[in-house]
Each structure stands twice: as C-alpha cells, then as structure tokens.
A and B are shown apart, each in its own frame.
Chain A
C-alpha cells in the first residue's frame, strides 16, 4: 500500500482504513516505519477501504507537476481477516438428567469480552425444565441444571468494545447413566493377562463398583472375593466368557458387561511325550499259529501323572481364578514293538515245517524256508522297532497320529477342573484305528506272493 505518511501534525499523507458503513474506523496506521502491527475490529458484514485523506502541500510539486517537495519510499501491508464468532462451550455434552453443566463464552481471538445479554435455554423436547443456577448476569460463564435435551443461547456479547456477537452451544444430550466395562488384553493368546476397567457413562458421572463376576461360555462362574470395589479387575484369562460388574452410577444401581475371549496358542510344534520299548519276542509264541503272531505292538496313550509339569491352576484372584489350563500336552504314549525273532530263526519249528522252497500245491503257493529268514526286518518295519525311520509302522502311525491330533485340543483344555479324558480317548482310538488299518492298506510293507504253513504236525 505504499509508504506510511509523515510523522507530523495531522499525519499528512498517512493511510486511513475504514469500513464501508463508516462505523468502524480502524486505528490510524502508524507513521513510524518501525511500528508494530496495529489491529482494528469491524463488525461484519462490511467492506474495508483505504485512503490518504490528508493532503501535504507541494507534495506533488508545482502546478506543472515538476519539482515535488518530497521523495518517499516504503510499504505497508494491510491484512483483512474474517474472525470466528463467539461460542458457548459446555463442560460436558452427554449428561444425566439433573446434571449441572457449566457453559462458558469463548472467543478465540479475544479475551476482551463483556456479556450484556441474558442466558437462555432452548429445549429440544416438549418440556423445558432446565434451570440456570448461580450468577449468570453479565457473566461469561453460567451453570444450568439440565433436565432435557437442548442447548444454551446468548446474545449481546461485546467483544473488543465494538463487536456485538451472539452464540449458541452444542446440543446437550440427556442420557441414562450406564456402567461400562472395557477389557484390555481380550483376544490375546490363552494364558495372557486381561485387565478390565469399569467406568461410568457419561464419564463425568460419579460411580462406584460393588462386585465383579466372570461367567465362562461353559457356564462356570467366578465371583471376585477380594477388593470387590476396585474399578479394575485383572488376571490370567484362559477361557472365553463374560465379565459382569455391578455398581452405582449417578446414584442409580447399574450393571455393565463385556465379553472377553482368548485365542489358541500355537502348539503345532509340541510333541507328545513318548516311551518306546522293543523287548524282542516277549511272550509271542515260538510256534506261531498265524502270521499275526510274528509280531505284536501294544500302544497306550495315557494322561501324564505329573500335572505340576503340564498344568497350571490360576490363583491370581482374577476372572479365571481357580481355573486350570495346560502349559504342555497332558498326555504321553507308551508303545511296545515285539518281533518274534525265535520263530523266524533258522532251525525253529516254524522254519522247519515250511517247504524247502516256494512250492505250489493245488492253487496255493507256499513260502519256502528261505523266506522265513527274510522276515525279521520286514516285521521290525511293520511293528515299528525304530519309529522315526518307520512312519508306516504300527508305532510310527500311532505316535504320529497322536502328535498330529493332540496339540490343538490339549491347548484348549482349560476351565474349572478340565477333564482330559474326553480329549484323550478319541485321539487314542483314532490313532489306533489308523494304525490297525495299516494291516490291510497300502502302507503294509509285508506283501508276500506265498503263504506260510502253521501245521506243526509236520514235525512228527
């Protein structure tokens, strides 16, 4: 806008800012080039004008325009900014009927505020029972006992001495008081800590807690027995369920609830403890009466007798207090792979009753004695004397099946006195059925083109 005027009496050539309606004369712009910014306020809507109404003689030279008396330089910046209106800000927006709300006039760009108007309550309902309380006259803050949905209004708010504004608050909602529960840690792996906080809604309401309970999806109920009035209940969580809290909010008895869940831990890498025995022939008959008596495998799946090493009873006073959960697979397998070596030895009675070579009699091919001697490694692999290298043996199939089937349901064994037997039995039976099925399916490693003789009268 060019230079400031002269710093002389009546400020010749200075810049004057004024609003279009003439009511808001902006303070005279400073003549001093080093002056700070000056600010003026105009009530809108208005247009802003700038002018240099004071003439300085000879400033532009003589009548011919030559020989000006002064040479000036410099610049000024004029900024016009639309300012926000006044606001009425409540200290809470959701209230219980009868709550006191404090409303405060706020103008973001000025603290020079004077209230000349009257505070008014505008109801959004058919009732209008909200009342103002305390000293509101000419006050920038006022309290109301709110009893229905509505908002506050105020006019004649004088700002900076010449701006008169009106304002209205946000809507104040009247809600029923509630007791809410938030649980951090829900959805974490089984055995993690869950922390539940009780809080009132609206949050500004007074509240107290009188009790906590946890109800598992299986129906077990855990009642908090210590520090029942704490607003926080935390502890190890091992089963899904529901947290219930009771208490008083805004003078009313209330109950809150929250569902909590656990996620399974990854137990895919866990193995069932296994004991393997190879007692040779044990008491298999040295004179087998059928091919099945060349070997026999016994398989057991038992509940481990050392619960202190695989189960934990929770004693933290939390939602799952007294519940048990597993830290390892609670089962173990025992297997015994017997191989009837004496029967399959050269010179045994069974060896002796076979034909010398493979022999066809009628429509049947009988195995020769040489085949007897080839049987031990086949029977070993069939029964499973070295299960890791014999996955299709009776032992290998059984143990691998148990290892495949046991981790997931074992991991989920949790709650009040969880019973492992309903988990154990189906796994045991399924693994054994699979193991036994091998005898008649493609996994069977013993397929001979002939049959053996079991008639010991041939020794006679």
Chain B
C-alpha cells in the first residue's frame, strides 16, 4: 500500500513548527532516550512506547535492534517487537544478529524460530512464512513461500549484503541437522521453500542427485537430499524437456523413448547423464 504523496517527514522541523514555544528534544536526544530504554530491556508499553518506533530512524537503531536479537528472551512481547521491527527496518547488522541467534543452540527455541522467520524477508523482502510469532512452530512437511503485499521496510545505513540470501539458504540447509527437532523441522521446511523459490540458490553438492541406467531405456533418478527436488530430464532435441519432482531421499524410474544419452539437470545445470543400457528390460 502506498500513499500517493508519500514522503518522509522530518522530525525536528515539524516539532518546531507545532510547538515553537516548547523545549523540544533534538533527534539525537530522542534517539539517545530510545537506545537507553530499549537497551534496558523495556517493552513497548506506556508513554515511552513510541520510542520503539522511533528507534528505526536512529543511526544506532540497527545496532540496538541487533542487540535485542542477541539478548531476546522467550517472551511473546519481545518476539513480537522483533518481528515488528523486521517490518520496519532492514539492515545487515540485524540480519547478522538473527543468523547468530538461529545458529546458537543455547538460545531459546522460540527465539531461534523467530530469527529464522525474520530472515526469510532478507532472502526475499516480499516472501512470507507468516507475520506473527509462532509461524514456524508447526510447519507443514512441505510448502512454498507466501507473498506479502504492502511491505515497506526502510533500509538501514548498512543495507543487506548481496550474498545474504545465499547465506540464509545455507543456514537453513545446515540447521536441518540441528539437535533441536523444532529448529530442524522449521529449517527443513524453509530449506524446501527457499529451494523451490530460488532453485539456483541450492548449489547441490556432488551426489545429491544421481541419474543411472537400470536397463535398456529405463533410467532412475535418485534424490539423496533431505528435500523434494524438481529436476529436468533431457535427452533429445526433438523431445520436450521433462520436469519431475523427486521426493526427498526417494527415486523415480522412467522409461524413455529414443537412443540418446539422458541428461539430468537441476536449475538449468547438468548434474549427470546416463546412456542406454546394454541389457534388455524384462
């Protein structure tokens, strides 16, 4: 949603115009107060609550919010505030803090899950797995990312680095083996969803997807990863390229026409090939 005359309003100018006679704090003073309150572990309640919004405009805002990520407790109001800030500000320092939290097995599970949830928007700003805390508590076995309309987070003074999406992808892939089942489940769900959204980010390792000949023109594709993968099979310029979904840890047999070598591709990259077998299929 975008107001047709959207502008950024300057704080001090308006303060002077409206309350010319009053003693008005400068923006530096406001930010200092916001930093003090937030660093003290306060929550967005009472008269000082507006400072939690104002912090996103402060130069030190990303550092303060990153610190809150590192110190976050398993309290719904804390997690909710972190996700609200996530709607309002995107900065490399915040992302680094969230990555650290997600990897840190000593942190409370809800905090780690919230970090994974927030990081999805650093993979794709309009991607969504849910807005509020708990979205990754019970993820489905498989699923795709949603889209959010009306996203409008401002960029911090350290915008997200170009390699951040790839790092977030690897983070989720790594955490599939996390000792905490809830984290591993959420990571697996995200690994799957991020792979489907951006297959080129997958960078599958050797042996992840293997094509082999069973007999004659019967071929088998084995998926040795922990997620379902959409692959392409090509073998002839005359035949259309085929697309298949190979379940995690599963395989697919297919009998193909022709005599050409059969090539296996993922995200446009060839991962292997197989030729017609010398033995006839029975």
Q: Which of B6, B47, B148, B230 contacts A290 (CB 8 A)?
A: B6
Any chain A CB within 8 A of the CB of B123? no
In contact, B5 and A455 (Cβ under 8 angstroms) = no
In contact, B257 and A221 (Cβ under 8 angstroms) = yes
In contact, B143 and A302 (Cβ under 8 angstroms) = yes
Q: Which of B11, B140, B243 contacts A455 (CB 8 A)?
A: B11
Any chain A CB within 8 A of the CB of B269? no
CB B5 to nearest CB in A, in angstroms, measures 4
Q: Which of A219, A416, A424 contacts B239 (CB 8 A)?
A: A219
Q: Interface-forming stretch among B22-30, B162-170, B203-211?
A: B22-30
| Given contacts A458-B15, A460-B25, A285 and B1 within 8 Å (CB-CB) | no
A223 to B217, CA, bound (A): 12
CB A136 to nearest CB in B, in angstroms, measures 51
Q: Which residues of A contact B149 (CB under 8 A)?
A: 296-299, 383, 394, 432, 435-436, 439
Q: Residue-by-residue, is B83-110 near A (CB-CB < 8 Å gives 1, otherwise 0)?
A: 1100110000000000000000000000
| Given contacts A300-B146, A379-B1, A421 and B196 within 8 Å (CB-CB) | yes
Any chain B CB within 8 A of the CB of A453? yes
A439 to B133, CA, bound (A): 27
Q: Residue-by-residue, is B193-216 near A (CB-CB < 8 Å gives 1, otherwise 0)?
A: 000110000000000000000000
- Identify the closest chain A residue to B132 (Cβ): A283
In contact, A287 and B147 (Cβ under 8 angstroms) = no
CB B238 to nearest CB in A, in angstroms, measures 9
Within 8 A of A (CB), among B144-176: 144, 146-152, 154
A446 to B254, CA, bound (A): 54
In contact, B56 and A446 (Cβ under 8 angstroms) = no
| Given contacts A432-B147, A457-B15, A285 and B53 within 8 Å (CB-CB) | yes
In contact, A296 and B17 (Cβ under 8 angstroms) = no
| Given contacts A416-B254, A439-B149, A298 and B128 within 8 Å (CB-CB) | yes
In contact, A454 and B9 (Cβ under 8 angstroms) = yes
CB A432 to nearest CB in B, in angstroms, measures 4
| Given contacts A219-B235, A298-B130, A455-B14, A446 and B53 within 8 Å (CB-CB) | no
Any chain A CB within 8 A of the CB of B39? no
Q: Which residues of B contact A305 (CB under 8 A)?
A: 140
In contact, A218 and B132 (Cβ under 8 angstroms) = no
| Given contacts A283-B84, A301-B144, A455 and B9 within 8 Å (CB-CB) | yes
Any chain A CB within 8 A of the CB of B249? no
Any chain B CB within 8 A of the CB of A38? no
Most chain A beta carbons < 10 A, residue from B27, B51, B84, B258: B84
A305 to B4, CA, bound (A): 41
In contact, B27 and A457 (Cβ under 8 angstroms) = yes
| Given contacts A422-B243, A446-B1, A453-B9, A299 and B15 within 8 Å (CB-CB) | no
A449 to B24, CA, bound (A): 29
In contact, A456 and B131 (Cβ under 8 angstroms) = no
Q: Residue-by-residue, is A278-316 near B (CB-CB < 8 Å gives 1, otherwise 0)?
A: 000011110101111111111111110100000000000
Within 8 A of B (CB), among A404-460: 416-417, 419-422, 424-425, 428, 432, 435-436, 439-440, 444, 446-460
Q: How many A-B residue pairs have CB under 8 A?
A: 197
Q: Is the interface of A mostly helix, strand, loop or mixed?
A: mixed
A residues contacting the other copy or chain, number (CB 8 A): 70
| Given contacts A220-B255, A422-B230, A432-B147, A456 and B53 within 8 Å (CB-CB) | yes
Within 8 A of A (CB), among B239-267: 239-240, 242-245, 252, 254-258
B residues contacting the other copy or chain, number (CB 8 A): 67
Q: Which residues of A contact B128 (CB under 8 A)?
A: 298, 300
| Given contacts A289-B154, A290-B152, A453-B14, A296 and B256 within 8 Å (CB-CB) | no
In contact, A298 and B148 (Cβ under 8 angstroms) = yes
Any chain A CB within 8 A of the CB of B75? no
In contact, B1 and A428 (Cβ under 8 angstroms) = no
In contact, B196 and A217 (Cβ under 8 angstroms) = no
Q: Which residues of B contact A291 (CB under 8 A)?
A: 1-3, 6, 152
Q: Residue-by-residue, is A202-231 near B (CB-CB < 8 Å gives 1, otherwise 0)?
A: 000000000000010111111100000000
Within 8 A of B (CB), among A147-190: none
CB A348 to nearest CB in B, in angstroms, measures 11
- Identify the closest chain A residue to B8 (Cβ): A454
In contact, A217 and B30 (Cβ under 8 angstroms) = no
In contact, B258 and A219 (Cβ under 8 angstroms) = yes
Q: Which residues of A contact B11 (CB under 8 A)?
A: 455, 457
In contact, B24 and A446 (Cβ under 8 angstroms) = no
A432 to B145, CA, bound (A): 12
In contact, B240 and A217 (Cβ under 8 angstroms) = yes
In contact, A292 and B256 (Cβ under 8 angstroms) = no
In contact, B255 and A221 (Cβ under 8 angstroms) = yes
Any chain B CB within 8 A of the CB of A11? no
| Given contacts A219-B242, A287-B50, A291-B2, A296 and B254 within 8 Å (CB-CB) | no
* A–B Cβ pairs within 8 angstroms, 16 of them: A219-B240, A219-B257, A221-B217, A221-B255, A285-B88, A296-B148, A296-B151, A298-B128, A298-B130, A364-B5, A416-B254, A421-B243, A425-B197, A456-B54, A457-B11, A460-B24
Using a CB–CB cutoff of 8 Å, the interface residues on chain B facing chain A are: 1-7, 9-11, 14-15, 17-18, 24-25, 27, 30, 47, 49-54, 56, 80, 83-84, 87-88, 126, 128, 130-133, 140, 142-144, 146-152, 154, 196-197, 217, 230, 235-236, 239-240, 242-245, 252, 254-258
Beyond the given A299-B149, A439-B150, please list 6 additional residue pairs across the A-B interface where CB-CB is below 8 A: A218-B239, A336-B131, A422-B230, A455-B54, A456-B50, A457-B27
